[in-house]
Amino acid sequence: MLRLYSVLTALIYSFPVQLLFNNIKRNHVLVLCWIILFAMITGNFGQYLGIPYLFLDPEYLNEINFTSFFIIGNVLAGFTVAFHITCYIIDGHRFTFVGALSRPFTKFALNNSIIPVTFLGTYLYYILSFQINNQYTTRMELFWNLAGLLTGFILTTVIFFVYFWFTNKDIFKYVVCRIDEKLKESVQVTRASAMRKLDIARKRQVRVDNYLDYNFRFRKVEDSSFYDRSTIIQVFDQNHLNLVMIQLFIIALILTLGLFKDYPVFQLPAAASAIIFLTLFVMLAGALSYWFGGWSATVAIIIFIGLNFLASKDFFSKQYEAFGLSYSTEPAVYTNESLNNLNDPAVIQNDLRNSMVLLENWRKKFPENEKPKMVFLCTSGGGKRAALWTLTALQIADSITQGKLFENSIMISGASGGLIGASFFRELKLRQKLGEGMNPYALKHRYSLSSDNLNPLIFSLLANDLFVGFNKFDYAGQSYNRDRSYTFEEQLNVITEHLMDKPISAYYEPEHQALIPLLILSPTIINDGRKLYIAAHPVSYLNSIIISEPEYELAKVAGVDFQALFREHGAQKLRFLSALRMSATFPYITPNTTLPTSPAIQIMDAGISDNFGVSDAVRFLYAFKEWIEENTSGIIVVSIRDSPKLGQIGERKRQSILDALTQPISTVYNNFENFQDISNDTYLGFARNWFHKPIDRIDIQYQVESYAPILNKLDSLRQNNARASLSWRLTAREKQGIVDNIYSEANVQQLEKLRQLLK
């Protein structure tokens, strides 16, 4: 019993355990950073958005290999070293016996490695588990992936500690006079901080009985009494210099890479960018603690309040622009009165006449004695998942109907990724019709669209938006910043094979001649919740009131026609990729776009108002209901959804206090699509009262609920892996799962129904 007590005492008062206790007790910010990393790799944070896969399956230059994991290993080692330095700066004075050891910092770091080693072991386990369950990773690939991670981690760690080996060896070689001379040259706050820590070092030491040495054996702490003020101050001074040097090195590296961020080779994996950001955060916490000690939290709050105040005064204002529009022209007036003028009955009638020509040209594609079905293509948002799903669904559906799906389609509406996939397929069909030898059904187009474009976006956020923004580029005679929105569009241009880099006006004639369906993007105006209707044609008639009485004086204009609002700002020159970007704005990732109006309006994802595009289709139908009734045998609303409409109803489980507090918000968020589905069904229900031809509905849905019994037996990460994440990056398994889902029993039935309707 006595022996057990001695062993436990030796363990508890060992240097590694006491450092762990100290971190948990005092270094909450540092521990929080580790918790965030743990949560991300284990799937407890950002699982729905696919964040864990950025770490478990990192992609670099569209490949998951030794190099991609090597980069992650590098930055993870940098984060770990920054953690050790910060701990040493903050708490080294609590363990002054370290100052008597040779190479004090390296031994401190060795004993401070419980959290980093635990994380590395957990990370390797989850990588191994994920890759084994990934059907597309061979044993040899898995070996090289793990080898890349460990090689990068070890190599970078060795480089850092070689630097520390040489910089720390001089601690005991300086003479007191040189130290005092150096201190006289130091700023007073540094000297005061060191003196305060010296006082703590003399009076409030943490008990440590043994420490881990280089040979991984525990050695007893020897009692030393030779510490003097100069030695301790120099230890802190020297290691603060190390912290500053590494900070400057990392910031310089980020800025340098930021200058070349448009070159793929410099675009780090998204997970690496996230780790670098946490590294900077850890080092900032260390710097504040060193300079301000116990006042560091207060100073941080004051700095935050100050920055927040300056931001509220537009001191840091940075607007993301729509490329092609002129921001030097006097801003367009955006008021209720000006919106009413833009929707004047005479304006609407003129737009109706313009689009009537489009309808007549669509009708000419079919025999005079035949009344064709008119198809409305409605596609949902959902990032890369929705883009790939929409492209796959359109390829299959158009192929099995022998091209009739697109021939009969009059309009495409929707949101976010779905419109990106639909726009890409529409471009492929147009190129085919123009005789360019394009095969719109080729598998290579799915591969292109599904390739990664998150890495450059996240790296641009870190390397450009947070630090610099002085790079410019010209488009349509205007100059714009090479910011994160530019990066997104350039990546969008790459994954769509450089086919859609054109002004929106380039689609006017093909749509007018009915070679391709009219495409309407409807991002949301943050200022007032209205839709901004962006199309090659003026479409103010989409504001026709279809439920309320037209005579109601206080009826709110539902949307704004982009062409009318920005007629003086070069609306027709708007880059089509910018229009797609505005419709696919994802919170925190893709920035909100500011448009040249007074007051300035900002644009966000179309999915906020209608993620499925059905309401816009009904508005178009209402505007031309008489003509459509006379010239068609009915309409088909083809809804391509990246989520099931009638998903399983989840059981309400017992709530924690936190769940109860957040339920009002989470309930609204979780039922967002359900609210929209109910509204859209109401729209179509009303349509059956004023449109007197058949309205058929086809729902092509990406869903994995049929596998629920199997999923219940899996861990949470693998359960989520069965359904593709809402992200701008997909794993190989997610890509294959999306493509295979088109052949589910429910989708095959819907495709056959569509084929029969278009016979």
* Residues 726-739: tens digit of each pLDDT: 567 788 888 888 99
Instruction: Give the closest residue to 527 by CA, choosing from 595, 607, 613, 462.
Output: 595
| pLDDT at site 350 | 93
User: Could you say which residues of the chain have pLDDT below 70?
Assistant: 1-2, 5, 48, 99-100, 134-135, 167-204, 223-244, 246-247, 251, 254-255, 258, 290, 293, 311-317, 462-470, 546-552, 587-588, 650-670, 705-727
| pLDDT at site 167 | 66
Domain ranges of the chain: 12-312, 332-545+555-644+687-757
C-beta of residue 453 within 8 angstroms of C-beta of residue 727: no
- Specify the 3-state DSSP secondary structure of 433: helix
Q: What is the enclosing helix (H) or strand (E) of 561? A: strand 559-561
C-beta of residue 519 within 8 angstroms of C-beta of residue 412: yes
Q: What is the pTM of this model?
A: 0.85
Instruction: Give the closest residue to 735 by CA, choosing from 497, 445, 441.
Output: 445
| Interacting residues of 92 by C-beta distance below 8 A, sequence separation 6+ | 98, 104, 108, 235, 236, 239
Q: pLDDT tens across 283-339, in order?
A: 888 777 767 767 777 887 888 788 777 766 666 667 899 999 999 999 999 999 999
Question: Per the structure block, which two tokens stand in for 128?
Answer: 């191994």
Question: Per the structure block, which two tokens stand in for 481?
Answer: 């910043």
* Preceding peptide of 116 cis, ω within 30°: no
Residue 22: exposure state from Cβ atoms within 10 A (0-12, 13-18, ≥19): middle
C-beta of residue 30 within 8 angstroms of C-beta of residue 115: no
Instruction: Give the closest residue to 14 by CA, choosing from 110, 116, 87.
Output: 110
Q: pLDDT tens across 32-41, in order?
A: 999 999 999 9
Parallel, antiparallel or unpaired: strands 601-604 and 524-525: antiparallel
